[in-house]
Amino acid sequence: MQELREKIDRGDTFKLVMTMGSWAFESQHIAGSLNISSLEEAEEALGMEDEIVVYCSGPACIASQIVYRSLRASGHTNVRRFSGGISEWSAAGYPIEGNDVD
């Protein structure tokens, strides 16, 4: 989580992707994230050379695992998964956006 926070703070160029449905994304997501919930959306929004970090709700959520594996299988080589997801990020007090953010 610290490495992700540092990448954001430095302004590194990468694509941070929440892999859950639009309703979850609209509710809350890590500030600056894209919302991709299908492989078709991923193909349109993510280049083969992009650095990509995927996440979902938390460690038990499999959405980011599925997208991570699918991206790797389709030839994306610079893909990582933030397993802590929005739950760990929010618990640490890091910035989140969305309709359900106080």
Q: What's the whole-number mean pLDDT along residues 33-48?
A: 89
CATH code, 2-97 = 3.40.250.10
First CA to last CA across the chain, in angstroms? 22
pLDDT at 28 over 90: yes
Beta strands in the chain (DSSP E): 15-18, 29-30, 34-35, 52-55, 79-81, 96-97
Confidence of residue 101 (pLDDT cuts 50, 70, 90): confident
Mean pLDDT of the chain: 92
pLDDT of residue 102: 65
Q: Where are the domains of the chain?
A: 2-97
